[in-house]
Chain A
Amino acid sequence: MPGKMNVMVGEKSPGMIAGRIIVYTLSILAAVYFLIPFFVMVMTSVKTLEDIKSGNLISWPREFTLDAWIKAWDSACTGINCEGVKGYFFNSILMVVPSVAISTIIGAVNGYVFSKWRFKGSEVLFTFLLLGCFIPFQIILLPMSGMLGWLKISQTIFGLALVHIIYGLSFTSLFFRNYYVAIPDEIIKAAKIDGAGFFRIFWKCILPVSAPIFMVVIIWQTTQIWNDFLFGVAFSGSESQPVTVALNNIVNTTTGVKEYNVDMAAALIAGLPTLLVYIISGKYFLRGLTAGAVKG
């Protein structure tokens, strides 16, 4: 790899330089394109309402204030309730943490079985599981609500988490299976001869080398589940709504003046956790995604 880099730096043909310029220009344009709305949101959220009405969208705030953030968190109205998003934010945490944890752990075991303990019919089973990745959310809404009702957990955070666990299993199993396929079978054989069984091999030989794929799956699941709106709207009650649904309610509450700064602050609050997760562990995400491709 270093050799290749040197070649690139060392011999700069005009064509190469032109290529570089195009790549950089496009990347910067793309970044600006995506960052402008974010910038506008942040700006708007720290302005006063008068400021917003008089100025233009991208102007600098005349007076910096966190009032909108405080209101969004504590007292904004979501329908008839006026207690901000805080309760719903914690709902989301209560929903995301167990569903990510459980779907990831089961996915890891599934991946381990489908890659290293194949049995008669396991390929077929895996294919069916994969189909789950292609089923649109909308299709399962009705049967799922029927099932939640039957289990008597409709409109609860637990029920919502269960939906996310089941829906996520296809993806987590696929991720783990593809990662574990790259681990040589001979290591498993060696461990079997060394006397280790199914769980000891998983625990001692597989899990310790699984950090990258755990990062990928955790990030993927956290983002998916935290950002989900449809399941949240369909399966939660007024007390168990996740923050995405609450945000929608704040923005759509039509009484009084439209408080853009509060809307923006609420949206940022709702988006912050996934943003943080990605900023903190994004590099592991990329590393994990490519790890399977490189033969160790």
Chain B
Amino acid sequence: MASLTITDIRKKFGSQEVLKGISLSINASEFVVLVGPSGCGKSTLLNLIAGLETINSGEIKIGDDVVNDVQPKDRNIAMVFQSYALYPNMNVEKNLSFGLETRKVPRDEIKKTVDHVANMLQISELLKRKPAELSGGQRQRVAMGRALARDPAIFLFDEPLSNLDAKLRVDMRTEIKMLHQRIKTTIVYVTHDQIEAMTLADRIAIMKDGVIQQFDTPQQVYDNPSNLFVAGFIGSPSMNFIPCTVIKQNEDTGVIFKTGEETSFFIPIKRTDLSLTEWIDKDVIIGVRPEQIASGFHLQEGNKQIHEIMCTVQVLEPTGPDTLVFVNINDTKVTCRVNPLDAKQPGENMKLMVDISKVLVFDPDTKMRIGNVA
């Protein structure tokens, strides 16, 4: 295992700048997930770390060594590709041993390593098969096995699960996490799936248009996203963004939630960690997660942070444990997560409780979060 330090790297393809100064400092043994929409430059960054592409400027350090000019094979990394990239002409055993043979590892040692890896990934029965004779899940295992056989200092995963069906994806996710807990190798894992990012990562780097938006623990990026993009990207269903104007009413600073022609509610926003006094009469965007608007909360009696509103139900989406209720607030579609037993039918009015203790406020111009939550 090794640490990985990336300092202000840039990459251009022709005139298009794909990576615009990326800096990340990843600790040894850490599991870092790089997440972002398709085309934002995740694979490019991974290829740069691997040495498969050359950087235009910046520095990449693996452990204490600057590897800018080091060949991929000498960087002591292994990579798992989205398409698995197994050698189609070689059987599983050959796929696992190819890298070792290239490195002239002694034959008996290769055999031991292949057996060990095959055991670990439960693919021992498949060793004589060609990739074409394997299922998607099995190919995925072989691709991981090929990386494991090399015993590298850093693993690079490029969307390794995105070609699997939903059920298998969840299973493999758990396996990858267990594998990491066992071998403790540093992992940089790329995905566009925020759930994968949340479940796997020690820290998540959220990327957009070649810029890192935030690099923090899953809980931090969920609770304290640094801007609108991160707030909307992390979490499913997405955070609601309600445009509001901050007003002052009887000594309290807050916003109005207008849920119908004649129904408006003043929601005071009074928190030790968030003061909106400088924003009075200005527009803001209130970020509320669906679970923060519910039919009721535990111990809600007398809680000053919980406010009641009345809304007209537009659409229901039962998910099983909860039902998603869609309502209108300030002419914006808002998702609420309610107890299935409390959900009213479309067209009916429904009493909803808003918990503002974790509500976020964003500047509509800079798209950045307001307030300094610790």
Residue positions of A touching B, CB distance < 8 A: 184, 186-187, 189-196, 200, 204-205, 208-209, 296
User: Can you offer 8 A-B residue contacts whose CB atoms are under 8 A?
Assistant: A184-B85, A190-B86, A191-B87, A192-B72, A193-B99, A194-B99, A196-B102, A208-B90
Are A195 and B146 interface neighbours, CB within 8 A?
Answer: no
Question: B50 contacts A205, CB within 8 Å?
Answer: no
Any A CB within 8 A of the CB of B88: yes
User: Given A192-B73, A205-B87: A186 and B81 within 8 A (CB)?
Assistant: yes
Is B372 located at the chain interface by the 8 A CB criterion? Answer: no
* B254 CB to nearest chain A CB (Å): 54
Chain A proximity mask over B311-336: 1 for CB below 8 Å, otherwise 0: 00000000000000000000000000
Bound-complex Cα distance A193 to B47 (A): 11
Q: Which residues of A contact B103 (CB under 8 A)?
A: 195
- B358–chain A nearest beta-carbon distance, Å: 42
The yes or no answer to B98 lying at the interface (CB within 8 A) is yes
Given A184-B85, A205-B87, decide whether A195 and B77 contact each other with a Cβ distance below 8 A.
Answer: no
Q: Does B79 contact A (CB under 8 A)?
A: yes
The CA of A194 and the CA of B98, in the complex, are separated in Å by: 7
Complex CA distance for A205 and B47, rounded to whole angstroms: 20
> Are the C-beta atoms of B89 and A187 separated by less than 8 Å?
no
Cα–Cα, bound, A193→B103 (Å): 11
Q: Mark B83-107, 1 if CB is under 8 A from A, else 0.
A: 1011111100000001100110000
Q: Contacts A208-B89, A209-B88: A193 and B102 contacting too (C-beta < 8 A)?
A: no
| Chain B window 252-285, contacts with chain A (Cβ cutoff 8 Å), 1 for yes, 0 for no | 0000000000000000000000000000000000
Q: A194-B73, A194-B99, A204-B98 are in contact. Are A296 and B79 (CB under 8 A)?
A: no
Looking at the complex, which one of B78, B79, B89, B150 makes contact with A205 (CB distance below 8 Å)?
A: B89
Q: A195-B102, A196-B102, A209-B89 are in contact. Are A186 and B83 (CB under 8 A)?
A: yes
Q: Could you say which residues of chain B place their CB within 8 Å of the CB of A208?
A: 89-90
Residues of B within 8 A of A189 (CB): 47, 50, 52, 72, 79, 81, 85
Given contacts A204-B98, A209-B88, 16 further A-B contacts (CB under 8 A): A186-B82, A187-B88, A189-B50, A189-B72, A189-B81, A190-B81, A190-B87, A192-B52, A192-B73, A193-B78, A193-B79, A194-B150, A196-B98, A196-B102, A208-B90, A209-B89
Which residue in A187, A192, A195 is a CB contact (below 8 Å) of B87? A187
List the A residue with the shortest CB-CB distance to B43: A186
Most buried by B among A187, A190, A192: A190
| CB-based contact A190/B85 at 8 Å | yes
- Distance to closest chain B CB from A216 (angstroms): 18
Q: Which chain B residues lie closer than 8 Å to A191 at the CB level?
A: 87, 98
The residue of chain A having its C-beta at the shortest distance from the C-beta of B47 within the complex is: A189
Task: Give Cα A196–Cα B104 distance, bound, in whole angstroms.
Answer: 11
**Docked CA distance A296–B84 (Å):** 13
Residues of A contacting B77 in the complex (Cβ-Cβ under 8 angstroms): 193
Query: From residue A180, how far is it (CB to closest CB) to chain B in Å?
Result: 13
- Contact pick for B72, options A184, A186, A193, A209, CB 8 Å: A193
A194 / chain B contacts, CB cutoff of 8 Å: 73, 98-99, 102, 146, 150
Instruction: Give min CB distance, A141 to chain B, whole Å.
Output: 42
A187 cross-chain contacts in B, Cβ below 8 A:
85-88
- Least CB distance from A291 to B in Å reads 13
Q: Are B89 and A190 in contact (CB under 8 A)?
A: no
Per the 8 Å Cβ criterion, residues 131-163 of B in contact with A are 146, 150
Please measure, in the bound complex, the distance between the C-alpha atom of A193 and the C-alpha atom of B52, giving whole angstroms: 8
Q: How far is the CB of A61 from chain B (nearest CB, A)?
A: 52
* Minimum distance in angstroms from A112 CB to a CB of chain B: 15
User: For A296, what are the chain B residues with a Cβ–Cβ distance below 8 Å?
Assistant: 88
A195 near B73 (CB under 8 angstroms)? yes
Q: Which residue of B lies closest to A196 (CB)?
A: B102
* Shortest distance between the CB of B238 and any CB in chain A (Å): 32
Q: Which of B85, B98, B102, B150 contacts A186 (CB 8 A)?
A: B85
Report A196 CB to chain B, min CB distance, Å.
Answer: 5
Q: Does A193 lie within 8 Å of B73, measured CB to CB?
A: yes
**B52 / chain A contacts, CB cutoff of 8 Å:** 189, 192-193
Q: Which of A184, A186, A195, A205 contacts B99 (CB 8 A)?
A: A195
Chain B residues 332-360 with CB under 8 Å of chain A are none
Residues of A within 8 A of B82 (CB): 186
Give the residues in chain A near B83, CB-CB below 8 Å. 184, 186
Q: Is the CB of A193 within 8 A of B98?
A: no
Query: A55: shortest Cβ distance to chain B, in Å?
Result: 57
Provide the residues of chain A in CB contact with B47, threshold 8 Å: 189
- A-B pairs, 7 with minimum CB distance: A194-B99, A208-B89, A186-B85, A195-B73, A195-B102, A190-B85, A186-B81
